[in-house]
Amino acid sequence: MKKIVLFLIFGLLMAGGIRAQQTQYLVFDFIKVEDDQIFDYIEFKDLMEKVYRQALTDGKIQGWDFWSLQSGADQEAFQYIMITYYNDPVNMMNGLDESAMMDYTKIAYPHLNDAQVANLFQNALDIKDTPMRLYMKEIVGTSDDFQMKPGVLASFDLMKAREGMFEAYEQAEMEVFRPIHQNKIEQGMMGHWSFLRTALPLGSQAKSTHLTMNMYKDYMQFFNSQEYEDMNQSVAQQKAVNEGLNSRDQKWVYLATLENVVR
């Protein structure tokens, strides 16, 4: 009996390790809605939650988030951020085509006929614009058990590695900044942190090359995190932090609140 229990525990640990090693690919859709269509859009995001929940059940995606923008450089250009999670780059690039979305809409609304579903879906598409889309690959993240649920906060920081310092910047995020964020999490000043690289090849004129996601359970935790200062940093560690900061340009910071989530 003990051998069976030990075998089961080992199996669970191995499964957890496999999940932890899986690379995530994320599509960020920055969405614009006209002021006179905001109430219609509330219905749209609720419809999308039902559709993406069907897609998750079908194994087509790994998750979906809908964020309301609180602050950022381009609030007039868009007010929402929608994130879809995939387990490989091919699925990310293919996304969910219109036919699949229609099928999932039919499942989510079984009382509607085909014509009604088509009308519902088309009306939803007509009220939004997507001025910017980012395809990202997660490079590294913190170890935590942060629970994604409506009301949590996120800071999406768009970065651009300086010319000739791409590798140095990535190394700084992984080796210098990740431990700092991990320490914040262990002190209860943060929920989750992850570092992402733009998945598509980019030229020198690209606005950003990387993105960091900083998650907080509420505003109290967010503001406490901003006040955090590691008083035990050595001179060498402070030097590494400064070099890391100088290896990239922080282009924009978007603060957002999670409204809908599918996991």
Q: Which residue did the predictor score with more confidence, 70 or 64?
A: 64
**Contact of 152 with 216, CB cutoff 8 Å:** yes
Q: Hey, which bits of 96-247 come out as E strands?
A: 129-141, 153-161, 192-198, 210-216
Q: In whole angstroms, what is the distance from residue 258 CA to residue 128 CA? A: 19
Confidence of residue 207 (pLDDT cuts 50, 70, 90): confident
Going through 98-141 in order, the beta strands assigned E by DSSP cover: 129-141
Of the candidate ranges 57-66, 150-159, 177-186, 233-242, the one whose mean pLDDT is the lowest: 233-242
Taking residues 142-154, report their average pLDDT: 96
Say if residue 63 is exposed, middle or buried (CB neighbours under 10 Å; 0-12, 13-18, 19+). Answer: middle
Do the Cβ atoms of 56 and 64 come closer than 8 Å?
Answer: yes
Mean pLDDT of the chain: 85
pTM (predicted TM-score): 0.84
Identity of residue 245: L
- Residues with Cβ within 8 Å of 130's Cβ and at least 6 positions away in sequence, in order, are 29, 30, 31, 32
pLDDT of residue 118: 87
Contact 77, 30 (CB under 8 A): yes
What is the per-residue pLDDT for 45?
86
pLDDT at residue 59 is higher than 90: yes
Distances (CA, A) of 103 to 41, 85, 121: 21, 20, 11
Residue-level pLDDT at 231: 60
4 pLDDT exceeds 60? no
Mean pLDDT in residue range 186-209: 83
